[in-house]
Structure 1
Amino acid sequence: MSQNLDLPLWSNASERIIFLFKAVQKIYRDQIFEKSQQYGFTGPQMGLILGLSKHPYSTLNELSECIGLSKSTVSGIVNRLVGQGVVIREIPENNRRIVRLSLSPEFERNNVIKELINNYISDSIKGASDEEIEKIIVGLEVLHDLLCKEHEPSE
């Protein structure tokens, strides 16, 4: 294990889990930010692009929840990306009160960002054994299930 992960004294397992979770998130964010700059996007813009690629036709509220940024921040990012021709706004015929957001067909045809992001994880774990990859997946699934269970309505 990396030495810097062993330095703090952990008073309990939850502190270590939180530390590791935040450390992994920071590394991921920093490296995605670096990749996004190569294509002329900021980290938050890249997050919005990825959010829309996974959840097309989202509303501003849905997208805000998806990427974990405030509605006003997401609105500003959307405005800039609409101006760049990356994002389009659509008002559905059946509900004129909402605006759906999606990536423009031109951007989707001409970009390699999704592929680069997907390759980032693949490249990051290519040195891991099958057993290590399975441990990562199982650990993340357990954490996911525990967090989801925590938010289920109690009977």
Structure 2
Amino acid sequence: MDEQKIIDIIHSFRSVQRVFYQVAREEADELDSTVIQIMVLSALWKTPHIGLGELADQLQVGNSTMSGIIERLVKQGLVTRERDQNDRRSLTMTLTEQGQKKKAETHEAFMTRFSTFLDISDEDYQHLITLHEQIIEKLEQSGDEVENVRHND
């Protein structure tokens, strides 16, 4: 087995992830927000009136963590909590008008910040996506149950 190949692939993904998150965190800081708060705003924009548990599952965080994030967003006037019309015991979250503006602002800032990705040729882009899909398939076929974390964002 070529262990170095495995190590190089893992190291490459870790390096990209680390730099990507660092850049995202810097951008979020400039917007007086956090990366997870921006992710929540985006998720609520795509799926309004979502429950806390479903939102937590979607973003792969615990319910108590999500509850704290929502609490901070409510205090900032970006999110409202409403009683679910179908289940009065449940609350759903929705962006306020201010939350929609913040989501648009953050989206624009992130698209500008990551616009250098557009310098990647179409051929390299297609190759990168194909390689990522192959790696996901290999991991899913490895025999261990891997939670499906594919997102079409």
Q: Do they fold alike, i.e. is TM over 0.5? A: yes
Report the residue type matching 2:128 in the other structure: I
What value does the CA root-mean-square deviation take over the aligned residues?
A: 2.5
CA distance in structure 2 between the partners assigned to 1:142 and 1:77 by the alignment: 34
Higher RCO (C-alpha 8 Å, min separation 6)? 2
Q: State the match for 2:28 in structure 1.
A: 36
Of 92, 103, 113, 2:106 maps to 113
> In the alignment, which residue of structure 1 is the partner of 2:37?
45
Match of residue 86 from structure 1: 78
In terms of mean alpha carbon deviation, does 135-144 or 68-77 score higher?
A: 135-144
TM (norm. structure 2) is 0.76
Shift of 1:71: 1.6
In the alignment, is the contact (CA less than 8 A) between 2:52 and 2:91 conserved in 1? yes
Give the Cα–Cα distance (whole angstroms) in 1 for the partners of residues 140 and 95 of structure 2.
29
Corresponding residue for 1:16? Answer: 8
CA distance in 1, matches of 2:120, 2:146: 33
Provide the C-alpha distance between the structure 2 equivalents of 1:78 and 1:145, rounded to a whole number of angstroms: 34
Which 5+ residue runs of structure 1 have no aligned equivalent? 1-9
Report % sequence identity: 28
Q: Which runs of 4+ in 1 moved over 6 A?
A: none
Q: Normalising by structure 1, what TM-score?
A: 0.75
Matched residues in 2 for 1:13 and 1:57: separation?
Answer: 45
Q: Which runs of 5+ in 2 are unaligned?
A: 148-153
Shifted more, 43-52 versus 30-39: the winner is 43-52
C-alpha distance in 1 between matches for 2:139 and 2:96: 34
CA distance 1:16–1:68, shift in 2 (3 Å):
farther
Please name the residue that 1:124 is paired with. 116
SS of corresponding position for 2:94 = strand
Paired residue for 2:127, among 131, 135, 138? 135
